[in-house]
């Protein structure tokens, strides 16, 4: 019998079938090993990614802290150069002086009742509590008295009261500020208190800007109420009726708004900016003219003898001095700079 000769094609087919059978027999074990290897590789990658993420989070946290520190020490939001601060101060001072010059003449004065809220401020600006009545009727002296009174109201009823923070926040900041402020003027804690105020102000505005329009509108309405109240009390105390105070009230409203804005800017600075009248009150002793810390009003007529000028008795302070305590970094609390002199009247009342 003749042998059967297989073709090359048949041989290759049989080989493929044999290989396929062998492969199918190895698949489960090899696949398990492959899957196990892949899982382990993925776990290693996941662990590596987790470590990278943890390191990135730590680096980000460190960078945020560095950035916040730089914002605080170098150029925080709201921190201004002295010349810019003084620009706002000079504008407010000019607006008050300009309004005082325009104050209506010949308006019959209504004597405010003894329990009137601002009467004590009006009485305190002159050595004798009744002098303001006569001076307000004097056309040459009226601007001085009006200017002095407005400044007195602003420094007591606006500055340092944090109205800009809104109705719900302002009382809490006032309370904390009073709690943190030490009793002694030269205490090193004054520096810490100012830095706290500066950072708190910055954080407050960041929080407010992230909130809805409703809260911003509420703050706006609150400021309008405060301004209207202060403006009305000033005009009433000085004897103006509602019908005669038209443009005067509008200018006063702008002045009070300017004082609130300036108070906000003071709170954002590292140094302490303070309005200062004198270390002595009228009841503690006479105040004499000091050219180093005072300007005489432009209406004054001093002798050319400088000694005679220094010896002049101050009758009342027209506008307070502005003092900067500490440096731009919030340090060196002992450094005190008079950036704006007091304006005083030495004329006999």
pLDDT tens digits for 173-230? 888 777 777 665 555 566 777 777 777 777 877 777 777 788 888 889 999 999 999 9
Question: Is 327 domain-assigned?
Answer: no
Greater pLDDT, 304 or 183: 183
Under the banding of pLDDT at 50, 70 and 90, the label for residue 120 is confident
* Same domain as 234, residue 94: yes
> Which pLDDT belongs to residue 110?
58
Contact 198, 269 (CB under 8 A): yes
With a cut of 70, say whether residue 29 has pLDDT above it.
Answer: yes
Instruction: Give the domain-ending residue among 269, 284, 315.
Output: 269
Under the banding of pLDDT at 50, 70 and 90, the label for residue 299 is low
3-state secondary structure of 207: helix
Mean pLDDT to the nearest integer, 301-327? 74
Under the banding of pLDDT at 50, 70 and 90, the label for residue 283 is very low
* Same domain as 135, residue 47: no
Mean pLDDT to the nearest integer, 327-347? 80
Question: Is 339 domain-assigned?
Answer: no
Under the banding of pLDDT at 50, 70 and 90, the label for residue 25 is low
Residue 313: name the closest of 286, 283, 293 by CA: 286
Question: Is 156 domain-assigned?
Answer: yes
Instruction: Give the domain-ending residue among 245, 269, 293.
Output: 269
With a cut of 50, say whether residue 6 has pLDDT above it.
Answer: no
Lowest mean pLDDT of 7-21, 110-124, 252-266, name the range: 7-21
With a cut of 80, say whether residue 340 has pLDDT above it.
Answer: yes
DSSP state of 229: H
* Same domain as 249, residue 135: yes
Structural domain that includes position 182: 82-269
Greater pLDDT, 119 or 304: 119
Greater pLDDT, 13 or 98: 98
* Same domain as 181, residue 218: yes
Tell me how far apart the alpha carbons of residues 335 and 219 are, in angstroms, rounded to a whole number.
36
Greater pLDDT, 211 or 331: 211
> Which pLDDT belongs to residue 271?
83
> For the chain, what is the radius of gyration of the CA atoms?
38
Kindly state the percentage of the chain with pLDDT values over 70.
73
Long-range Cβ contact pairs of 138-141 (< 8 A, separation 24 or more) = 139/105, 140/299, 141/347
* Same domain as 128, residue 49: no
CB atoms within 10 A of CB 193: 19
Structural domains in the chain (count): 2
* Same domain as 187, residue 49: no
* Same domain as 96, residue 49: no
Q: What are phi and psi of 322, to 5 degrees?
A: -115, 125
> Which pLDDT belongs to residue 43?
85
* Same domain as 44, residue 175: no
Q: Which residues pair with 337 in a beta bridge?
A: 324
Question: Is 262 domain-assigned?
Answer: yes
Residue 336: name the closest of 319, 324, 318 by CA: 324
Mean pLDDT to the nearest integer, 27-55? 82
Q: Which residues pair with 316 in a beta bridge?
A: 345
With a cut of 80, say whether residue 310 has pLDDT above it.
Answer: no
Q: Mean pLDDT of all residues in the chain?
A: 78
Question: Is 32 domain-assigned?
Answer: yes
* Same domain as 220, residue 92: yes
> Which pLDDT belongs to residue 41?
83
Question: Is 142 domain-assigned?
Answer: yes
The b/e string for 284-315 (b: 16+ C-beta within 10 A; e otherwise) is eeebebeeeebbbbeebeeeeeeeebeebebb
Question: Is 68 domain-assigned?
Answer: no
* Same domain as 161, residue 37: no
Instruction: Give the domain-ending residue among 254, 269, 284.
Output: 269
Question: Is 26 domain-assigned?
Answer: yes
With a cut of 50, say whether residue 261 has pLDDT above it.
Answer: yes
Burial (CB < 10 A; 0-12, 13-18, 19+), residue 147, is buried
């Amino acid at each position: 019998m003749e042998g059967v000769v297989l073709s090359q094609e048949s041989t290759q087919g049989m080989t493929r079938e044999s290989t396929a059978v062998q492969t199918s027999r190895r698949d489960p074990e090899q696949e398990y090993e492959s899957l196990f290897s892949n899982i382990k590789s993925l776990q290693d990658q996941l662990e590596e990614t987790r470590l990278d993420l943890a390191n990135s989070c730590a680096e980000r946290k460190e960078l945020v802290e560095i950035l916040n520190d730089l914002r605080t020490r170098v150029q925080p939001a709201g921190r201004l150069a002295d010349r810019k601060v003084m620009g706002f101060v000079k504008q407010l001072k000019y607006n008050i002086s300009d309004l005082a010059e325009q104050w209506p003449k010949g308006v019959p004065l209504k004597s405010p009742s003894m329990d009137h809220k601002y009467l004590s401020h009006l009485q305190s600006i002159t050595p004798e509590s009744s002098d303001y009545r006569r001076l307000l009727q004097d056309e040459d002296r009226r601007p001085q008295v009006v200017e002095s009174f407005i400044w007195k109201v602003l420094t007591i009823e606006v500055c340092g009261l944090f109205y800009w923070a809104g109705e719900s926040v302002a009382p809490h900041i006032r309370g904390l500020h009073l709690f943190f402020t030490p009793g002694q003027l030269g205490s090193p804690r004054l520096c810490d208190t100012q830095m706290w105020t500066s950072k708190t102000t910055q954080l407050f505005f960041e929080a407010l800007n992230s909130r809805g329009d409703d809260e911003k509108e509420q703050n706006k309405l609150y400021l309008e109420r405060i301004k209207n109240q202060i403006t009305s009390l000033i005009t009433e105390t000085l004897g103006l009726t509602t019908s005669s105070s038209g443009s005067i009230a509008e200018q006063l409203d702008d002045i009070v708004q300017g004082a609130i804005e300036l108070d906000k800017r003071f709170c954002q600075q590292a140094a302490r900016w303070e309005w200062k009248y004198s270390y002595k009150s009228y009841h503690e002793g006479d105040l004499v003219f000091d050219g180093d810390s005072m300007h005489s009003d432009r209406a004054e007529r001093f002798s050319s003898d400088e000694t005679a000028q220094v010896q002049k008795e101050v009758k009342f302070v027209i506008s307070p001095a502005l003092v900067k305590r500490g440096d731009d970094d919030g340090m060196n609390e002992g450094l005190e700079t008079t950036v704006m002199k007091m304006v005083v009247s030495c004329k006999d009342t």
